A and B are shown apart, each in its own frame.
Chain A
Amino acid sequence: MKYVDEFRDPAAARALLRRIDDLAEQLERPLRVMEICGSHTHTIYRHGLEHLLPEWIEFIHGPGCPVCVIPMGRIDDALWLARQPDVILTTFGDMMRVPGSEESLLQVRATGADVRFVYSPLDALPIARDNPDKQVVFFAVGFETTAPSTAVTLERARGEGLANFCVFSNHVTTEQPLRAIVDGGETQIDAFIGPGHVASVVGVHAFDFLAEEFNRPVVVTGFEPLDVLQAVAMLLEQFTSGEVAAGRATVQNQYARVVRSDGNVVAQRLMDRVFRTRDTFEWRGLGWIEHSGLGISPEYAAWDAEERFAVPGVRVADPPACECGSVLTGRIKPWQCRVFGTACTPATPIGTCMVSPEGACAAYYNFGRLDRETANAVTIRE
């Protein structure tokens, strides 16, 4: 097990892998486990976890990378905002390289638009204070981990009466895309590795619907390789104990050292006040999903970029070569995309999954480059 020696605790990893092997032998059929969060995808590829697990357990990479799920139309909207006179567009560094239908934010900046990347949404506020004759727009993306930070920033802008600041909200929630995936039937997922940081905000119970309505076990998990292996063991136990067969799948918390079962109530209240749930929102690869996006609430409408500007909001189909949608829904693996590693690389991304380090294609390109068959042929296991 060549990778295992790199683990913080190789002995614990070996013991866990033995336990997983034992459990897997009791399975009645192969299992497909979706890790929802892109940071887990990163851990899995970096540490070669899928090659360490028994054949019958397959990881499917889920839609939990905020950069990856942004549809091209919203990038084009951000580009349109950046091109407006006297606008300074601010956003996270990863968003700068995401291709729109003609160019990326990095490219419009090269042609003179004022686009600045910030580490925190709060960093956009001093830019607004220092440029009273400009409109400063924050292009916000992210799941429930990030949305509370945008909410605090908006509250602060309102508190200060900062009139030249607004937010172009592309925040999204985890529940509805997961419903779409388990309901859609295109990809059979048997169990989920729950996103640790999202859960630290929304709480463990936010994933109860997967167990209660769909009988899919969930283990909310940390980001160490040992965390992920332990989560796999916990999921397997739910199958081998007969609980799943009896229709009693449960949500468990492997990451109790960080995640409380009710999550972060302060953050939840803030989000409820500052955001409203949109009727529908477009996702890359998943299409339009009802109640899955967070717009700005009427109370904060004065700081809503979609109220302040006539954002075009046109729908743009993904480029024909781009198969990010199929990757995000687990229909194909990154290397099955025709342009993977050739036309599409982290330096020249065609799709979103290659842009963010958490994206399945980037993670796979950086750490993997082997499929399971090849990997087994070169016997990575002992």
Chain B
Amino acid sequence: MCLGVPAEVIAIPESGEPRARVAISGVERTVATDLIAAEELRAGDWVLVHVGFALSRIDAEEAAITLEQIRRLGGTVLDDELAAFGRSAID
């Protein structure tokens, strides 16, 4: 539960709600952006996602390094995180 996983912003919903549609390793879900509200997010940006919330904006290089690092943590760490993320019901 403690990981911060990089995700790419796919779309920002029109509703004006603090939400972003993001993808982590191909799995798409909605995350909450309340905690980075002051920042303008756009499709193509990268964010660090923790328990369904974008915690901070990061650059693409940092995202790639972090994802690679999580993959190398081995075992089922990334798979478990992705499975849980895939079940998330944030709308």
* Chain A residues with a Cβ under 8 A of chain B: 6, 8, 37-39, 42-43, 46, 65-67, 92-94, 117-123, 126, 141-142, 145-146, 148-149, 152, 197, 200-201, 223-225, 257-258, 264, 266-267, 270, 356-358, 366-367
Q: Which residues does chain A contribute within 8 Å of B52, judged by CB atoms?
A: 119-123, 149
A145 & B50 in contact (Cβ 8 Å cutoff):
yes
Interface residues of B in 70-89 (CB under 8 A from A): 72-75, 77, 80, 84-85, 87-89
Among A46, A142, A367, which residue has its beta carbon within 8 angstroms of that of B1? A142
Q: Which residues on A sit within 8 Å (CB–CB) of B65? A: 8, 224
Chain A CB within 10 A, most for which of B36, B52, B66: B52
Within 8 A of A (CB), among B22-42: 32, 34-38
**A258 and B48 contacting across the interface, CB-CB below 8 Å:** yes
A120: contacting residue among B36, B72, B77, B90, CB under 8 A:
B90
Which one of B50, B69, B74, B75 lies within 8 Å of A197 (CB-CB)?
B50
Nearest-CB residue, chain B, relative to A260: B56
- B-to-A contact residues, CB < 8 Å: 1-4, 32, 34-38, 48, 50-53, 55-56, 58-59, 62, 65-66, 68-69, 72-75, 77, 80, 84-85, 87-91
Q: B1, A93: Cβ atoms under 8 Å? A: yes
B84: chain A residues at CB < 8 Å are: 93, 117, 119
Residues of A close to B89: CB separation below 8 A: 123, 126
B residues less than 8 Å from A257 (CB atoms): 58-59, 62
Contacts A/B (CB < 8 Å), 18 sampled: A37-B2, A43-B69, A46-B72, A92-B51, A117-B84, A119-B51, A119-B87, A120-B90, A122-B53, A148-B35, A152-B53, A258-B58, A264-B35, A264-B36, A266-B38, A267-B35, A270-B34, A367-B74
**Complex Cα spacing A93 to B66, Å:** 22
User: B91 contacts which chain A residues (CB < 8 A)?
Assistant: 126
When A39-B2, A122-B32, A357-B75 are in contact, do A146 and B51 touch as well, CB less than 8 Å?
yes
Closest chain-B Cβ to A210's Cβ sits at a distance in Å of 21
Nearest CB in chain B to that of A42: its residue: B73
B55 engages A357 (CB within 8 Å): no
Return the contact of A6 from the options B35, B53, B72, B77 (Cβ within 8 A).
Answer: B72
Cβ–Cβ < 8 Å partners of B75 in chain A: 357, 366
Q: A8 contacts B68, CB within 8 Å? A: yes
Do residues B80 and A93 form an inter-chain contact, with CB atoms below 8 A? yes
Verify B77–A148 contact, CB threshold 8 A.
no
Bound: A32/B48 CA distance, A? 31
Q: Other than the known A43-B69, A93-B80, what 9 A-B pairs have Cβ atoms closer than 8 Å? A: A6-B72, A46-B73, A120-B90, A122-B88, A145-B4, A146-B1, A200-B48, A201-B55, A223-B69
A308 CA / B1 CA spacing, docked (Å): 27
From A122, A141, A264, contact of B56 by CB (8 A): A264
Complex CA–CA separation, A263 to B9 (angstroms):
22
- 5 residue pairs, one from A and one from B, having the closest CB atoms: A120-B52, A119-B84, A119-B88, A92-B1, A152-B34
In the bound complex, CA of A329 to CA of B38 (Å)? 38
With a cutoff of 8 Å between Cβ atoms, the chain B residues found around residue A66 in the complex are 1-2
Quick check: B66 and A223 within 8 Å, CB to CB?
yes
Contact A200 B56, beta carbon cutoff 8 Å: yes
Are the C-beta atoms of A357 and B77 separated by less than 8 Å?
yes
Q: Known: A93-B84, A119-B87, A224-B65. Contact between A266 and B1, CB under 8 A?
A: no
Separation of A243 and B84 alpha carbons in the complex (Å): 46
B38 to chain A, nearest CB (A): 6
Which residues of A are found within 8 Å of B66, using beta-carbon distances? Answer: 223-224
How far apart sit A173 and B56, CA to CA, in the bound complex (Å)? 20
Residues of chain A with a CB closer than 8 A to B62's CB = 257-258
Given contacts A120-B52, A145-B50, A200-B56, contact A152 B32 (CB under 8 A): yes
- Which residues of chain B have C-beta atoms less than 8 A from A152's C-beta? 32, 34-35, 53
**Minimum CB distance partner of A39 in chain B:** B2
Contacts of A93 in B (CB 8 A): 1, 80, 84
| A325, B37: Cα distance in complex, Å | 39
- B4 to nearest A CB, angstroms? 5
Bound Cα distance A119, B55 (Å): 15
CA distance A65 to B37 in the complex (A): 28
Q: Which of A67, A94, A149, A223 contacts B50 (CB 8 A)?
A: A149
Complex Cα distance A117/B85, Å?
Answer: 12
